[in-house]
Amino acid sequence: METKLYVGNLSYQTTELDLRNLFTQAGAITSVSLITDRETGRSKGFAFIEMASQSEAEAAIKMFNGSRLGDREINVNIARPREDKPSSGYGSRPGGYNNKGGSGDRNRSRTGGKRRY
């Protein structure tokens, strides 16, 4: 079991200090990362907390999943690995559609991909 936890459904007013104070009840915390919007700096309503051990992470899930923090019922789960996003450059979309004016898959007919003129 991983020691990194996902904490969701947070109020936008929740701070990293609020999370640290709550989760230290379950054990030692390695890090707290409250996720914020790059442009506005406002919280996105979720965070990642890394606990010092697996048993402390399990205790935090049991203690806080479904509990209330402020005016919200929070969700606490094991964090899933981050998925890589495709690059946003030309040709990054599946099927060849790349905004370059080429035909790609969108102009193919139902007859096996042959073009009609």
Cα angle 32, 35, 40 (rounded to 5 degrees) comes to: 135
Q: What are phi and psi of 22, to 5 degrees?
A: -70, -50
Higher pLDDT, 86 or 32: 32
For the chain, counts of helices (H) and of strands (E)? 2, 6
Torsion of CA 98, 101, 102, 105, to 10 degrees: 60
Q: What are phi and psi of 56, to 5 degrees?
A: -70, -35
Q: Is the pLDDT of residue 16 over 90?
A: yes
Q: In 3D, which of 50, 35, 37, 56 has the Cα closest to residue 5?
A: 50
- Domain edges within the chain: 11-78
Answer for the pair 58, 23: CB distance below 8 angstroms, yes or no: no
pLDDT band with cut points at 50, 70 and 90 for residue 87:
low
Tokens of 58: 């399990």
pLDDT at 6: 98
- Homologous superfamily of 11-78 in CATH? RRM (RNA recognition motif) domain (3.30.70.330)
Task: Collapse the DSSP code of 91 into the 3-class scheme (helix H, G, I; strand E, B; otherwise coil) and give the result.
Answer: coil
62-80 tens-digit pLDDT:
999 999 999 999 999 999 9
